[in-house]
Structure 1
Amino acid sequence: MTEALRPLRPLQVSRDLHEPQSPQAGSGPISTPVSIPDSLKKRAICSQCRIRKVRCDGRPNICQNCDRLGFECSFQQSPGKSPGKYVVKLPERRRRMQACIQCHSKKTRCLGELPSCSSCVRRNRTCVYPRTKKHGTIARGNDLAGVSEADGQVAEQRSGGTSPTQGIMMIGPAQGLTLDHDVTLALMEDYFKHLYPLPSFSFLHKPTSLQRCRDQTMNGTLKLAICAITALQLHRTALCHDLWAQQAEQLILQQMGRASIFNLQALLLIIRYRIESGEFPTAFMLAALAARTALALRLNYERPELPDVAQEARRRLFWALYLLDDFFCVGLREFELYPEETIAIFLPCDEDNFEAGRHVRTGVLRPGPESRGNATVIGLRGVSLRLTSVRRAVMRFNRRVGLGDELSSTIGESIWRFEEELRFLGAALRPNEQYSAVNLTSSEWQAQFIMLHMSWHQCHCDMYRLGLDGYSEAAPSPVLLALHPRDRAGMQLKCLEHARSIIGIVSDFLNHGDGELLLERDAAVCAFESARLLMFGSRAASNLDVAIGKAKLSLKLITRFFPYSASTQPLRKDLERLIASYSVRLALQTQKAFSEPEPPSARPSTKVSQYATSRQRLSVQSLLLQSDFVDDSNEIAGPTQTTETPTLPSSMQTSFPVGVGDEVLAGAATPRDHSWGTTGPGNSQVSPAGQSLDAGQEGAGLIFNPWMGFTGPEDMYGVSSRPPGPDDEF
Structure 2
Amino acid sequence: MGRSQAPCVQCRYRKVRCDRQQDTCGNCKRLEFSCSYRQNVSCKETKKLKSESVPPERQRASRACFECRRQKARCSGDLPSCETCRQRQRECHYTDSDLPVESSQLLKSASALFPIRRQELLRAIGQFFRHLYPIPSFAFLHEPSVRQHCLDGSLDQSLALSLAAVTNAYLSTDQRLLQECASWMLRAEAENIQHLHQPSIRRVQTLLLTVHYYIRTGEFARAYMLVGLAARAATALRLNYERPELTFVAQETRRRVIWALTSIDGYFSVGLPEHETISYPIIYQRWPCHEEEFSDGNTQRSTGSIQNLTKPNSAKTPNLLSACHQITKIQRDVMRLTRQLAISEEPLAALPGLVQEIQNDLWRLHDDVELSSEFSISAMTRQLEMNHSQWFARYLLAALLWHQVHCDLYRIFLPGYPEAVPARIMNTTDANFCEHAVQMCHIHVMQVTEILAGVLALSDIPVLPHHVAVCAYQSARLILFLPSLHCSRPEITTESAIRSANLALSVLHTFFSSTPFAERIITDLEHLLQASVMSPATAREPGYLSSAPSDSGRQRHSQLAVHSLVRQAKFEDDDYET
Q: Which amino acid counterpart does residue 219 of structure 1 have in structure 2?
A: D
Partner of 1:523: 468
Partner of 1:494: 440
Which whole-Å CA distance do the structure 1 matches of 2:454 and 2:546 have between them?
A: 37
- Cα deviation, residue 467, structure 1: 1.8
Question: Residue 236 of structure 2: which of 292, 296, 320 is its match?
Answer: 296
Partner of 1:409: 349
Matched, 1:361 2:302: yes
Q: Taking structure 1 as reference, are residues 275 and 461 closer, same or farther at Cα in structure 2, changes over 3 Å only?
A: same
Q: Taking structure 1 as reference, are residues 406 and 498 closer, same or farther at Cα in structure 2, changes over 3 Å only?
A: farther
Larger radius of gyration: 1
Which whole-Å CA distance do the structure 1 matches of 2:474 and 2:545 have between them?
A: 19
Aligned pairs for 1:607-646 (under 5 A) are: 614-634=556-576, 636-637=577-578
Partner of 1:269: 209
Partner of 1:231: 168
Partner of 1:385: 325
Which whole-Å CA distance do the structure 2 matches of 1:212 and 1:234 have between them?
A: 23
Which whole-Å CA distance do the structure 2 matches of 1:406 and 1:393 have between them?
A: 20
Q: Which amino acid counterpart does residue 407 of structure 1 have in structure 2?
A: P
Matched, 1:198 2:144: no
Partner of 1:467: 413
Which whole-Å CA distance do the structure 1 matches of 2:133 and 2:418 have between them?
A: 37
Q: Taking structure 1 as reference, are residues 601 and 313 closer, same or farther at Cα in structure 2, changes over 3 Å only?
A: closer
Which whole-Å CA distance do the structure 2 matches of 1:408 and 1:180 have between them?
A: 62
Matched, 1:451 2:361: no
Q: Which amino acid counterpart does residue 201 of structure 2 have in structure 1?
A: I
Matched, 1:483 2:429: yes
Aligned pairs for 1:697-716 (under 5 A) are: none
Partner of 2:375: 432
Q: Taking structure 1 as reference, are residues 406 and 527 closer, same or farther at Cα in structure 2, changes over 3 Å only?
A: farther
- Cα deviation, residue 566, structure 1: 1.2
Question: Residue 536 of structure 1: which of 471, 474, 481 is its match?
Answer: 481
SS of structure 1 residue aligned to 2:562? coil
Q: Indicate conservation of the 8 Å contact 1:229/1:272, yes or no.
A: yes
Partner of 1:344: 284
Which whole-Å CA distance do the structure 1 matches of 2:412 and 2:142 have between them?
A: 43
Matched, 1:582 2:532: yes
Q: Indicate conservation of the 8 Å contact 2:320/2:394, yes or no.
A: yes
Which whole-Å CA distance do the structure 2 matches of 1:480 and 1:292 have between them?
A: 41
Matched, 1:551 2:488: no
Q: Which amino acid counterpart does residue 508 of structure 1 have in structure 2?
A: G
Aligned pairs for 1:284-323 (under 5 A) are: 284-323=224-263
Q: Taking structure 1 as reference, are residues 519 and 483 closer, same or farther at Cα in structure 2, changes over 3 Å only?
A: same
Q: Indicate conservation of the 8 Å contact 2:477/2:501, yes or no.
A: yes
Which whole-Å CA distance do the structure 2 matches of 1:542 and 1:462 have between them?
A: 19
- Cα deviation, residue 563, structure 1: 2.6
Which whole-Å CA distance do the structure 1 matches of 2:183 and 2:400 have between them?
A: 36
Which whole-Å CA distance do the structure 2 matches of 1:594 and 1:433 have between them?
A: 34
SS of structure 2 residue aligned to 1:408? coil
- Cα deviation, residue 155, structure 1: 4.4
- Cα deviation, residue 402, structure 1: 1.7
- Cα deviation, residue 216, structure 1: 2.3
Which whole-Å CA distance do the structure 2 matches of 1:410 and 1:601 have between them?
A: 28
- Cα deviation, residue 569, structure 1: 1.4
Q: Taking structure 1 as reference, are residues 597 and 163 closer, same or farther at Cα in structure 2, changes over 3 Å only?
A: same
Q: Indicate conservation of the 8 Å contact 1:383/1:428, yes or no.
A: no
Partner of 1:153: 94
- Structure 1 residue ranges, 4+ long, deviating more than 6 angstroms after superposition: 374-378
Partner of 2:69: none
SS of structure 1 residue aligned to 2:302? coil
Q: Which amino acid counterpart does residue 374 of structure 2 have in structure 1?
A: P
- Cα deviation, residue 243, structure 1: 1.1
Matched, 1:256 2:196: yes
- Cα deviation, residue 414, structure 1: 0.8
Q: Indicate conservation of the 8 Å contact 2:407/2:445, yes or no.
A: yes
Q: Indicate conservation of the 8 Å contact 1:152/1:163, yes or no.
A: no
Q: Indicate conservation of the 8 Å contact 2:524/2:544, yes or no.
A: no
- Cα deviation, residue 149, structure 1: 6.2
Which whole-Å CA distance do the structure 2 matches of 1:308 and 1:600 have between them?
A: 48
Partner of 1:222: 159
Q: Indicate conservation of the 8 Å contact 1:447/1:517, yes or no.
A: no
Which whole-Å CA distance do the structure 1 matches of 2:275 and 2:375 have between them?
A: 37
Q: Which amino acid counterpart does residue 197 of structure 1 have in structure 2?
A: P
Structure 2 stretches lacking a partner, 5+ long: 1-88, 106-113, 485-489, 548-553
Partner of 2:28: none
Q: Which amino acid counterpart does residue 204 of structure 1 have in structure 2?
A: L
Matched, 1:183 2:120: yes
Q: List per-residue Cα deviations over 1:425-463 (Å, max 9, x = no partner).
A: 110113234323145313631111111111111111111
Q: List per-residue Cα deviations over 1:197-232 (Å, max 9, x = no partner).
A: 110111111112112222322110001100110010
Structure 1 stretches lacking a partner, 5+ long: 1-147, 165-176, 603-611, 638-730
Q: Indicate conservation of the 8 Å contact 1:548/1:583, yes or no.
A: yes
Which whole-Å CA distance do the structure 1 matches of 2:539 and 2:512 have between them?
A: 32
Q: List per-residue Cα deviations over 1:61-100 (Å, max 9, x = no partner).
A: xxxxxxxxxxxxxxxxxxxxxxxxxxxxxxxxxxxxxxxx
Which whole-Å CA distance do the structure 2 matches of 1:485 and 1:228 have between them?
A: 54
Could you tell which deviates more after superposition, 438-447 or 200-209? 438-447
Q: List per-residue Cα deviations over 1:474-498 (Å, max 9, x = no partner).
A: 1222222212222212211211211
Which whole-Å CA distance do the structure 2 matches of 1:428 and 1:187 have between them?
A: 36
Partner of 1:567: 517
Q: Which amino acid counterpart does residue 172 of structure 2 have in structure 1?
A: H
Taking structure 1 as the reference length, the TM-score comes to: 0.59
Could you tell which deviates more after superposition, 549-558 or 453-462? 549-558
Which whole-Å CA distance do the structure 1 matches of 2:545 and 2:266 have between them?
A: 26
- Cα deviation, residue 179, structure 1: 1.8
What's the % identity of the aligned pairs?
A: 32
Matched, 1:210 2:147: yes
Q: Indicate conservation of the 8 Å contact 2:383/2:399, yes or no.
A: no
SS of structure 2 residue aligned to 1:416? helix
Which whole-Å CA distance do the structure 1 matches of 2:382 and 2:396 have between them?
A: 12
Which whole-Å CA distance do the structure 2 matches of 1:545 and 1:423 have between them?
A: 32
Q: Indicate conservation of the 8 Å contact 1:375/1:428, yes or no.
A: no
